Amino acid sequence: MQQIFNFVIRNKTFLLFLLLFSIALALTIQSHSYHRSKFINSANFLTGGVYGTMNSVDQYFDLKTTNAILSEENRQLREQLFNLKGTKDSSYIDSSYSKGHYKITIADLYKNSYSSTNNILTINKGKNDSIKQDFGVMTSNGIIGIIDNTSKNYATVLSILNVKSQINAKIKSTNHIGSLTWDGKSPVYVQLEDVSQFAPIKVGDTIETGGESSIFPKGIGIGTITSFETDISGDTYKIQVKLFNDMTNIGTVYILENLDRAEIQSLENKANE
């Protein structure tokens, strides 16, 4: 017994180092292997407060660009509105929102991140604004990511620039679907994988959300094809997609809540049983 005590006292520095290092390593592995990092995340009172103060200063330097983005969006919406009026009598159906009803919440991005391989963003809406896990997040240009953790007033977003992210997407001109992933290299390009070899693909085609998951509605723009190659297996394409969004400069985001989500999920669960 005496010897054990002596051993512990003699090596106390090394043992403490080993303990702390193992805790850190466990947290790291947990954040890599599970979809959600539960304990250490930036959706809390302390980090939210600091990022909030920073954001309120930061916003002033960006007012001009924000204005330009808003007026561009206004123009787009107005264009859609006028086009809609013109086609009301014909059998035109707006396919983008036909699947379900979506509730939209506006939020400010408090922390942007694009330089690591596991990018996670922080926004200033949380449980108090009835934001929950797995809501979609987008800007006027295209999708940003999916809500990951939420606290009372803040939430973290799993960015599409995260090697863990996988989002259902399709080619606009045809209906061939694939899954959108990121290889961790450039914040401008993402990859669309598992697209069937039979799909006719051209450089410059638009990629949009597929609407297969209940997170995003069908038809939100993602980016354009810049190049493509056949996968090693030979049956699928791997496509490089240039994002519409400038992921390095995001101010205001929209959070999408699918009001029919519970219904869709219960239906799918029933089919799986």
Instruction: Tell me the closest approach of the beta carbon of residue 63 to another protein, in angstroms.
Output: 19
Residue 113 binding another protein, by CB under 8 A: yes
Residue 150 binding another protein, by CB under 8 A: no
One of 102, 108, 122, 153 touching another protein (CB under 8 A): 122
Handedness of CA 159, 160, 166, 167 (dihedral sign): positive
One of 8, 23, 104, 259 touching another protein (CB under 8 A): 23
Residue 44 binding another protein, by CB under 8 A: yes
Contact (CB, 8 A) for 52 and 110: yes
Considering beta carbons, is residue 153 or 156 the nearer one to another protein? 156
Residue 155 binding another protein, by CB under 8 A: no
Considering beta carbons, is residue 113 or 214 the nearer one to another protein? 113
Instruction: Tell me the closest approach of the beta carbon of residue 86 to another protein, in angstroms.
Output: 44
Stretch that binds another protein, among 26-34, 96-104, 137-145, 190-198 (CB under 8 A): 26-34
Residue 92 binding another protein, by CB under 8 A: no
CA-closest candidate to residue 145, choices 115, 124, 166: 166
Q: How far is CA 193 from CA 29, 116, 173, 240, in A?
A: 26, 21, 17, 9
Alpha helices in the chain (DSSP H): 2-10, 12-33, 45-58, 63-86, 261-272
User: Exposed, middle or buried by CB within 10 Å (0-12, 13-18, 19+), for 24?
Assistant: exposed
| Structure token pair of residue 139 | 């800007």
Give the separation between CA 228 and CA 200, rounded to whole angstroms: 11
Q: Residues interacting with another protein, by CB under 8 A?
A: 12-14, 16-17, 20-21, 23-32, 37, 40-42, 44, 46-47, 50-51, 54, 111-118, 120, 122, 156, 184-187, 248
